[in-house]
Amino acid sequence: MNRSTWITRALTALSVLILLGIWQVGAELIGSGVLLPHPNTTLSALYSLLQQKPFSLNVLATVGRALRSFLIIFTIGGALGILAGYTKSIHAMLVPVLVICKATPVMSVILLAFIWFSSGTVPLFSAFLMGFPVMFVQVEQGVRQISPRLREMTEAYGFSPLMRLTHLVIPSLVPSIITGAKASLSMVWKVVIAAEVLTVPRYGVGSRMQLAQVHLDTAEVLAWTLIAVALTAIGDLVFIGVLRFPKFIRQRKLHHQAGGAA
């Protein structure tokens, strides 16, 4: 690692320390645990949360909802994006849906969904409406950017529709799919937790946050917030890991081949 990366890292750490310092000083000055609890009070609230039995249930419920919404968005957004990229009529029909999805405030979607569905379904539905346009638009634009020259080559060399899909369309779309998936995944966490706060299903990070707020237990609200941040960060890391996996396998294979040859 070179000098400038060290300096960057040191500055990032310094910035975190300054933020913690401001938090600590602010808590001292305000002097009220309800308005702003001390950082160490928050950490001990977090510690006691981690020890409680329903902790894993709450986290798993939220993770399950986020993953299910993400998979639905990924599949439907990806498939419709490819179709709309190729078919003008499908694109035209989906335009109003997209405009509505993009312009409607998250809270309206959640409140309306709560009228129509049970509290466990609301987070899935709301996350879908919010995340779908992101995935869809990326994939649709990706289809438009597929090289016409390569398309013409596959036409001249008699590629079947299936060969075109697997060897031209999908590989060309990989960057757009990754961008769309990454952006919709980080959106999904926020919407799912917001929907849980409003609808309070039996288990869920958002439900616990809401209950803590009702009890004016600010330290616990902050502790759940830290957990939500950690979940998003872990989600991003897993995502990056999944992306690197094929490359890792390839390198191992190459390594084996080299070893075999020697």
Partner 1 sequence: MILNHVSKTYFVRNQHLPVMQDFSLQMNPGSITAFVGPSGCGKTTLLRLIGGLEEPDSGTIEKTEAEQGAFSYLFQEPRLLPWHSVVANVELVLLPWFSNKGERIARAMEFLDMVGLREFTKFKPDQLSGGMRQRVSIARAFAYPGRIMLLDEPFQSLDTHLRWSLVESFLSLWEADRRTTVYVTHDLSEALLMADLVVRLTDRPMHTISLHPITTPRESRSLADPEFVELQRTFYT
Number of residues that bind partner 1 (CB under 8 A): 14
Minimum CB distance to partner 1 smaller for 23 or for 159: 159
List, in order, residues 6 or more apart from 132 with CB less than 8 Å away.
Answer: 73, 76, 77, 101, 184
Q: Which is nearer to partner 1, 115 or 156 (CB)?
A: 156
What mask, x for binding partner 1 by CB under 8 A, covers residues 114 to 143? ------------------------------
Of 133, 130, 128, nearest to 84 (Cα)? 133
List, in order, residues 6 or more apart from 145 with CB less than 8 Å away. 172, 176
Q: Which member of 152, 178, 233, 241 binds partner 1 (CB under 8 A)? A: 152
Q: Does 150 contact partner 1 by CB under 8 A?
A: yes
* Min dist. Cβ of residue 213 to partner 1 (A): 50
Range in contact with partner 1 (rule: CB under 8 A) among 131-139, 154-162, 180-188, 195-203: 154-162
Minimal distance, residue 175 CB to partner 1, in Å:
11
Is the separation of the CB atoms in 66 and 195 below 8 Å? Answer: no
- CA 135, 188, 235: angle at the middle one, nearest 5? 100
Q: If 0-12 CB within 10 Å is exposed, 13-18 middle and 19+ buried, where does residue 43 land?
A: middle
Q: Which stretch binds partner 1 (CB under 8 A): 46-54, 109-117, 119-127, 158-166?
A: 158-166
CB of 159 to partner 1, least distance (A): 8
Query: Helix, strand, or coil here: 118?
Result: coil
DSSP 37: -
CA distances from 24 to 14, 38, 100, 184, 218 (A): 15, 6, 43, 34, 15
Q: Which of residues 163-192 bind partner 1 (CB under 8 A)?
A: 163, 167-168, 171
**In the block, which residue shows the tokens 């020890």?**
51
Please state the closest distance from residue 86 (CB atom) to partner 1, in A.
19
Interface residue with partner 1 among 149, 258, 260, 261 (CB under 8 A) is 149
The answer to whether the beta carbons of residues 196 and 123 sit under 8 Å apart is yes
Using CB under 8 A, list all residues that contact partner 1: 149-150, 152-153, 155-160, 163, 167-168, 171
